[in-house]
Structure 1
C-alpha cells in the first residue's frame, strides 16, 4: 500500500507554521506497517490543489489530505475534490445542526460562510469531528482512496484516532509493523563510520541502515518491518556495536550531555568547569538536565587575562610566560577549578573563537584541559573551522566527547 500525505495551506509554504501534521501521521502510521511514499504541501489555489490531487491519485493507493476544510474563501479542498472526482457538494445536516447549536449556545451571530464547513462530497463517508466543526471525509475512488481531514492538529489527530487508523487496518489488513532505532556515536566521522560498516550497508535488506550526520555526533538509523521488527533491529545493532561500539553513546533522542550525566551518576562523580571562549556554554548544557545538581557543582567563566587571575586564580607568571591561549593555562584552569568547586572532575576551555586572531594565534585554536581526581591534568588541543559561534559550539561538543570516553 502506497500512502502519501498532502497538506493544504499557503501559511505552510510561507513558513509561518510547520507541517507537523504530516510528521505525526507518518510516525503513527509506521506502527501499522504503512509505507509513506510522498509528503507535499500546496497553497490555497484551486488549480494547484486540483493538480496536486490528480498527481497523487495516479501514484498512490491512499492520499491523506489535511487542511482547507474551513469556512473561508481560501479553504478550497472540497472544491478541488469535487473537480477531481466529478462529484458534488451537499450540506451534511448533522454537521449543520451542530454548527447552528454552537453559535446559539455561545450567543454569537453565525455568518453564512460557516455553512461551508458542513459541506461534504456526495460520495463521501463522513467522519464526525468531536473537536471542531468540519467533519472528516473518506472518498473511495476506483483507483485510490482520499481521506480529507481538518488542518487543526487536535481535530486531525482526533479523527485519525477515532476513525482513520481503524479504517485503514480493516480495509488493507495491515499486519506488519515498522520500527526504527537511532544509534548515536561521537568521536568518529560519518565517512569513517560508513567505511567500517560498508559491507553491512551494501547488503542491507531488513533492517535498512542509514548513516546520518549531526552537529558534533553522527547516527545510524535502523529501520525494520515485519511481525517482529524489534528482533531484526536488535540483531543488526549487535553487529554494528561489535565494530564501532567504542563510539556509541546511546539511542534515539539521548544527547551526549545526558550520556555523560548517566556515567557521572553511575560512578558517583561530580563535575565543574572553567570556561573562557565558551562563555559558560558547557556548564549550561549540564545544568539544563533534570537532576543536574547531583553531579554538577557549577562553573567559572573568566574571559580576560585579569579575570582568569582573579576568578580562576591562574598565576600571573603562567599568563605572562605562556599566554592565556596555551596548554599551560588550560591545565592550570582545570586544576584550579577542581579545587575551587570541590569536584571530582574539572574541565577547562581556552582558545580563539575569532573572528580576529589573539595573542598571535589564528581563530580556531582551542585547548581543553581535564583534571580527574588526583591524576595529573591532561590537555588536548584542536583546530576548529567555521564561524565564531561554530567554533564555540564545536569546542563544547569536543569537551563532552572527551569526558564521555574518559568516563567509559
Structure 2
C-alpha cells in the first residue's frame, strides 16, 4: 500500500531548526555559514551509523586505503561476491554485478546488451546515463510519454509491426526524480511480454529508503524478481558510492562481467560499508528509520500545502515544489540562500520545481522551518518580479 498523506505531531520539536554546516567558521564569525540542509541525500542517516563506521574501520585496518581499481586488486574477492549475492537476494533476482558508480551500471548494461539494430523504448523523462548510453548504442530510440504504460505498449506494437526480429529494451525508473512519479510496473511487464521486449527498471531513487521492507516501488507494486534487469546506485541509502546491475538470469551478468564492469571495482571499504548498510536496512532499525523518514516527508508536504504551494508526485524522499520558471526561479534561489535553506536547485531552471531532500534525522522544527523558508522565498520572488521596473526609460531623440 502506498503512503497516505497525513501528519503526525506526536514528537515534540527538539531543535531551533537551524544547523551549522560542517566545516563552517566559528559561530562568532561574521562569515559563518549556517543553514538548513535539505540538499544532501543521506536519507536514512547511515553515513554516521556507528556500526557502519566500525565496519569501515575494520576493513581499513585489514586492507589499508585503496582507490577504485581493477577487480583482481580490490582486496578480498569474497567481499564482492557476498555483496553481489546480497543484492540479488534483496531484489529476488538470480545474479548481480557490481559497478563503480550508478552511471557505470547504466553504461555497462546498455552498451553490453543493445546492438545497433535493436530498439530502445524509454520513458521521455529519463535523462542522464540511461538516455545517453541508449543514444550511443542505437539510433532506434522511441520515447514514450512519462509514466504512460499504454503509450509504451503502442510504441512496442508499432516496432513489432515493422521489425519482428531485433531486440527491444524498455527503460523506466521505479521513481522519477523529475516529479516523484512512479510507473505502473505490472502494466509495463505485460506490454513487454506481449511484444517480446526486455524490461529494465532503474531503482536509484527508492531502493533501501521506501517501502516497509526497503524494496522501494518494486516491492510496493509486487514486482520483485519480475523485471528482466534492475540497475541502481548506493549513494542515496547505503552510505557509499557505487552501482549495480541485477538480472533474472545469470547468463546476462556473466556476459556483462567480461566487459567494462570488470575493469574497475569498488574498494574493500565501500563494499564493507554497503554490506553493513544492507544489514541495517533489512532489520527492525531500518524499518524504524524509514518510518521516521516517511513521517518527515508527509509532514513537509502538508506544511508546504498549508502555505498554498503545489507539491508534485507521490510521497518520497525528495519533495518537489512548483516554483516557476525564468526570473522567478532565479529569484527564489537567491532568496533561499539569504534565508539559509540549502535545497536541490539543479533542475529548477528546466522544470520550475525546487527539490527538498528529506532525511530521517530532520526534526519537526527543521521541517516547519524549511516550509516557511520556501514560502517566504516564493513570496519575495513574486514581489520582485511584479514590482514595476525602476530603470529609466530611454527617450527618443528629437
TM tier relative to shorter chain: under 0.3
TM-score by length of 1: 0.22
TM-score by length of 2: 0.22
Bigger RCO of structures 1 and 2 (CA < 8 A, at least 6 apart): 2
